[in-house]
Amino acid sequence: MEVIYTHRIKKNTISANKDLPTKEGDYIYFIRLVPISGGKPRYKIGTTNRPLQRLKEHLKNYHYEFNIEVLWFSPRYSSVETTTRVERRMIQFWSEFLGWEYIPNDRFVLPDDVDEVIIRVRKDYPIRI
């Protein structure tokens, strides 16, 4: 992964395998929050219409030290209702049906045996962990 942003004070980083979306529209994202001090990574699903700005907000707002790895951004959608509906549906599925450990603010600690996550919007998007 290539570092695309480093916080000027905390020195935390945002890394991605490819460029972030730049066109106007609404997106769903799936990121890995990797603690600097070690420990299990946390995973987050969310929605945004400004990808880089939203990721920078994550670096600033969380109260523990971590780096962000961008695992997936959806294609652009024209409706925020679509992205929030998918986000809510995936959170409910992962926490209730699969029993993954849910942490408030849409974060999860995945079991050790999970090596792929599938996010379904209009089609299935497999994401390697």
Structure token pair of residue 61: 């707002």
Q: How many CB atoms lie within 10 A of CB 67?
A: 20
Separation between Cα atoms, residue 24 and residue 43, nearest integer Å: 25
pLDDT tens digit string along 6-50?
988 888 999 999 899 989 899 999 999 999 888 899 999 999 999
Nearest in space to 43 (alpha carbons), one of 58, 63, 22: 58
Separation between Cα atoms, residue 21 and residue 76, nearest integer Å: 8
Structure token pair of residue 122: 């209009």
CB 42 within 8 A of CB 26: no
CB 33 within 8 A of CB 62: yes
Write out the E strands in 10-106.
13-16, 27-35, 42-48, 66-73, 101-103
Helix ranges (H only) for 27-118 are 51-61, 80-92
Structure token pair of residue 27: 């997106």
pLDDT tens digit string along 65-77?
899 999 999 999 9
pLDDT tens digit string along 55-104?
999 888 766 689 999 999 999 998 899 999 999 999 999 998 888 999 88
pTM exceeds 0.85? yes
